[in-house]
Chains A and B, each alone.
Chain A
Amino acid sequence: MVNGLVLGSVYGLIAVGYTMVYGIIGMINFAHGDVYMIAAYLTAIFLAALTALGLHAAPMVILLVLALTMLVTALYGWSVERIAYRPLRASNRLAPLISAIGMSLILQNYVRLSQGARTQGTPTLLDGGVRLFENGPDQFVQITHAQILIVVTAVVGMGLLWYLIHGTAIGRACRAVQQDRVMASLLGVDTDRVISIVFVLGAGMAGVAGSLVTFNYGSFDFFIGFVTGIKAFTAAVLGGIGSLPGAMLGGVILGLAESIFSGFVNTDYKDVFAFSLLVLVLIIRPSGLLGRPEVEKV
Chain B
Amino acid sequence: MMAIRDGGEPEGGGLTWATRLRDAALTGVIALLLFAPLTGVTLTGYALEGHWQRPLWLAAGVVVGRLLIGLFLEARRARPPVESAQASEKVGWIDRNRPFILGLALACALILPWFIGKYWLNVAILALIYVLLALGLNIVVGLAGLLDLGFVAFYAVGAYGYALGFKYLGLSFWLALPSAALLAGLCGILLGFPVLRMHGDYLAIVTLGFGEIVRLVLNNWMELTGGPNGVRAPFPSLFGLEFGRRAQPGHTTFHEFFQIPYSSETRDIFFYLLLLMVVAGMIFVVRRLRRMPLGRNWEALREDEIACRSLGIQPVTVKLSAFGLGAMTGGLGGVFFAASQGFVNPTSFTFMESAHILAMVILGGMGSTGGVIIAAVILTVLPEVLRDFAEYRGLAFGMAMVGMMIWRPRGLMGIRRARFHRSEVGR
Q: Which residues of A contact B (CB under 8 A)?
A: 22, 26-28, 30, 38, 41-42, 44-46, 48-49, 51-52, 72, 75-76, 78-79, 82-84, 87-88, 91, 93-99, 101-116, 120-123, 192, 196, 226-227, 230, 233, 268-269, 271-272, 275-276, 278-279, 282-283, 286, 298
Q: Which of B45, B54, B366, B402 contacts A103 (CB 8 A)?
A: B402
Given A91-B409, A102-B399, A226-B351: A120 touches B43 (CB 8 Å cut-off): yes
B262 at the interface (CB under 8 A from A): no
B209 and A275 within 8 A (CB): yes
- What 5 A-B pairs have minimum CB-CB distances, sorted nearest first? A102-B401, A105-B398, A106-B398, A109-B394, A109-B395
- Give the shortest distance, in Å, between A188 (CB) and chain B (any CB): 16
B106 at the interface (CB under 8 A from A): no
- Give the shortest distance, in Å, between A174 (CB) and chain B (any CB): 17
User: Mask for B386-403, Cβ within 8 A of A = 1, else 0?
Assistant: 000001101101111110
B395 and A106 within 8 A (CB): yes
- Give the shortest distance, in Å, between B356 (CB) and chain A (any CB): 10
How far does the alpha carbon of A104 sit from the alpha carbon of B202 in the complex, in Å? 17
B200 and A105 within 8 A (CB): no
Residue of A nearest to B201 (CB): A28
A230 and B209 within 8 A (CB): yes
Q: Which of B351, B391, B398 contacts A102 (CB 8 A)?
A: B398
Interface centre among B39, B201, B208, B216 (most CB of A within 10 A): B201
A75 and B33 within 8 A (CB): yes
B145 at the interface (CB under 8 A from A): yes
A residues in contact with B355, CB < 8 Å:
101, 105
Give the size range of B's interface with the partner. Answer: 35 or more
B217 and A102 within 8 A (CB): no
B220 and A42 within 8 A (CB): no
B37 at the interface (CB under 8 A from A): yes
B206 and A282 within 8 A (CB): yes
B30 and A48 within 8 A (CB): no
How far does the alpha carbon of A202 sit from the alpha carbon of B170 in the complex, in Å? 53
Report 30 cross-chain contacts, Cβ distance below 8 Å, ordered by A residue. A27-B200, A38-B38, A44-B43, A45-B41, A46-B37, A48-B48, A52-B47, A52-B48, A72-B33, A72-B37, A79-B30, A82-B4, A94-B145, A96-B405, A99-B402, A99-B406, A103-B398, A103-B402, A107-B398, A110-B395, A112-B394, A115-B38, A192-B5, A227-B212, A275-B209, A275-B210, A275-B213, A275-B216, A278-B205, A282-B198
Additional A-B contacts beyond A88-B405, A116-B43 (14; CB < 8 A): A45-B38, A46-B37, A75-B33, A75-B34, A78-B1, A83-B402, A84-B405, A99-B401, A101-B204, A101-B355, A101-B358, A105-B395, A115-B42, A116-B42
B54 and A114 within 8 A (CB): yes
A residues in contact with B318, CB < 8 Å:
none
Residue of B nearest to A116 (CB): B42
Q: Is the interface of A mostly helix, strand, loop or mixed?
A: helix
How far does the alpha carbon of A95 sit from the alpha carbon of B407 in the complex, in Å? 11
- Give the shortest distance, in Å, between A72 (CB) and chain B (any CB): 6
B149 at the interface (CB under 8 A from A): yes
Q: Which of A42, A269, A279 contacts B209 (CB 8 A)?
A: A279
A49 and B48 within 8 A (CB): yes
A45 and B37 within 8 A (CB): yes
B residues in contact with A22, CB < 8 Å:
201
A108 and B402 within 8 A (CB): no
B38 and A87 within 8 A (CB): no
B46 and A121 within 8 A (CB): yes
B residues in contact with A49, CB < 8 Å:
41, 48
B residues in contact with A122, CB < 8 Å:
46
How far does the alpha carbon of A28 sit from the alpha carbon of B198 in the complex, in Å? 13
Interface centre among A51, A112, A271 (most CB of B within 10 A): A271
How far does the alpha carbon of A96 sit from the alpha carbon of B404 in the complex, in Å? 11
A residues in contact with B42, CB < 8 Å:
114-116
B123 at the interface (CB under 8 A from A): no
A111 and B34 within 8 A (CB): no
A87 and B406 within 8 A (CB): yes
- Give the shortest distance, in Å, between A75 (CB) and chain B (any CB): 6
A residues in contact with B202, CB < 8 Å:
28, 282, 286
B199 at the interface (CB under 8 A from A): yes
B206 and A104 within 8 A (CB): no
A residues in contact with B45, CB < 8 Å:
121
